[in-house]
Amino acid sequence: MRRGFADASTMARMTASTALYAQRRARLASMLGEGGIAIIPTAPERLRNRDTDYLYRHDSYFYYLTGFTEPGACLVLAADGTSTLFCQPKDLEREIWDGYRLGPDAAVAALGVDAAQSSAQLESQLPRLLENRSRVWYPFAIHAGLAARVEGWLNQVRARVRYGALCPAQQDDLCTLLDEMRLVKDAHEQDIMRAASVISAGAHIRAMQCSARMLRDGQDVREYHLDAELQHEFRRHGSQAVAYNSIVAAGANACVLHYRADAAPVRAGELVLIDAGCELDGYASDITRTFPANGQFTGPQRALYDLVLASQEAAVAATRAGARFNDPHDATVAVLAQGMLDLGLLDKNKVGSAQDVIDSRAYFQFYMHRTGHWLGMDVHDCGSYVEPSELGQVSERRDPLSGEAIKNRPSRILRPGMVLTIEPGIYVRPAEGVPEAYWNTGIRIEDDAIVTDSGCELITRGVPVKADEIEALMRA
């Protein structure tokens, strides 16, 4: 019923990457500054109801530096590279109920840290570790109550200044360092993300074929049926969990961007939008496909689908090292703006040319989100979207829809190893002046891309994306 702690076999796999995590800790330590020290706790367990917890999931920053998945742990890293792990002590009685614990005695060899102590000693040992340091780093606004705990530890150090102890005078947000480290994925991370994408692609194929098969057989099909197929395929191939709550939206529900899989019927003649991805060994995948429930697009559905696919192809072509993060979005919007005019979603007599549609953001009625986000350990992964070397280059514009003043800064320059999603969409709700043939149609196409020198590697194309290929797959 509880947690899903790492077992002995999982721990054995973790130790194979000990050197990798040690390298990351050494790199971070070199950035802490003279006399610096960092505190990185993992995530707490969270109560679901009464005495039952949610399935445990570690903190991404902590895991990035340790590869350790147990709760109740904290890493302390000094600028000289010395690492101390606080973790749950061995307790054979609790392990009968809750599962295997690594314990401090085994942690040094298994994880490659310099020292390990029981988490019960954290409160007494932290003030000692902070003493005579010049600055303390920890993740701001991530762990509720951590800032207050740090202040408590520092107050204990301050109480010893009459005995010659020095207290850190500076507190810094560790996320500013770790976000930059995590933004570019190394070969190990990329391989895991490719593997996660293969599993997720297979799950989407399974859901598509299930929908067509059940409708052909005259069965009642619900969104939760397709959600169950996704989760079965995720777990069947070793994924530990979903990377986020799966979206399985039939018919008009696809116009709700963050819709959750529910009990709505899946009907022949309607589209189904599935946005779902698994998490594998701490890394997320993120795929969206939109398909006809019975395997055959109608004419209006196909017209909208081909427009979204064309906009994605333009975004993919704009994704490469040296380009800006905003370039794929701008490419998407240019295609969608012209397509909305061509299909009659927007009246050119009222909104003008495609450039006018872009300038006025008239397209926002049908496309209201960005074309991508960073992807990694978190499905919306960390990392600034502004180019750090150009923070001072600020211009101001007024949003034509809200009237709000917005400060523009140059968007991030893409580098090899960055991973982002490319996910244009179009969402047509009933509205005056909008052709009724398109009403209640939501379409999104999303793939995961690793930036390369020459372009990008789409790691999620194991599931078809062209309309003809989707129809052929669903006939199989």
373 part of the active site:
yes
> Looking at 189, 223, 423, 471, which residue is catalytic?
423
Q: From CA 379, how far away is CA 279, in angstroms rounded?
A: 9
Show contacts of 336-341: CB within 8 Å, 24+ apart. Answer: 336/307, 336/308, 336/311, 336/363, 336/366, 336/367, 336/424, 336/426, 337/362, 337/363, 339/307, 339/310, 339/311, 340/307, 340/366, 340/426
Show contacts of 229-238: CB within 8 Å, 24+ apart. Answer: 229/203, 230/203, 230/204, 230/206, 230/274, 230/276, 231/203, 232/203, 232/206, 233/199, 233/202, 233/203, 233/206, 234/199, 234/200, 234/203, 234/278, 237/198, 237/199, 237/202, 237/278, 238/199, 238/280
258 part of the active site:
yes
Cα–chain center distance at 445: 17
> Looking at 34, 50, 51, 163, which residue is catalytic?
51
Q: Is 194 left (phi over 0), alpha (psi -120 to 50) or beta?
A: alpha
> Looking at 229, 281, 286, 327, which residue is catalytic?
286
Q: How many CA atoms lie within 13 A of 5 on its CB side?
A: 21
> Looking at 427, 438, 448, 471, which residue is catalytic?
427
> Which tokens go with 251?
């018919």
286 part of the active site:
yes
Question: Could you give the dihedral angle defined by the CA atoms of residues 426, 432, 437 and 442, in that order, rounded to the nearest 10 degrees?
Answer: 20
380 part of the active site:
yes
> Looking at 70, 444, 447, 448, which residue is catalytic?
444
Place of tokens 């399985």: 248
427 part of the active site:
yes
275 part of the active site:
yes
Helix (H) / strand (E) containing 214: helix 187-216
51 part of the active site:
yes
58 part of the active site:
no
> Looking at 13, 260, 380, 397, which residue is catalytic?
380
User: Going by DSSP bridges, is the β-strand pair 283-284/441-444 parallel, antiparallel, or unpaired?
Assistant: unpaired
> Which tokens go with 262?
């529910």
DSSP state of 254: G
> Looking at 233, 270, 327, 446, which residue is catalytic?
446
- Asked if 84 and 116 count as a contact pair (C-beta separation under 8 A), the reply is yes
> Looking at 34, 163, 217, 258, which residue is catalytic?
258
> Looking at 160, 369, 370, 409, which residue is catalytic?
369
> Looking at 373, 438, 448, 471, which residue is catalytic?
373
Q: From CA 409, how far away is CA 387, in angstroms rounded?
A: 8
- Asked if 37 and 137 count as a contact pair (C-beta separation under 8 A), the reply is yes
What is the set of active-site residues?
Answer: 51, 258, 275, 286, 369, 373, 380, 423, 427, 444, 446
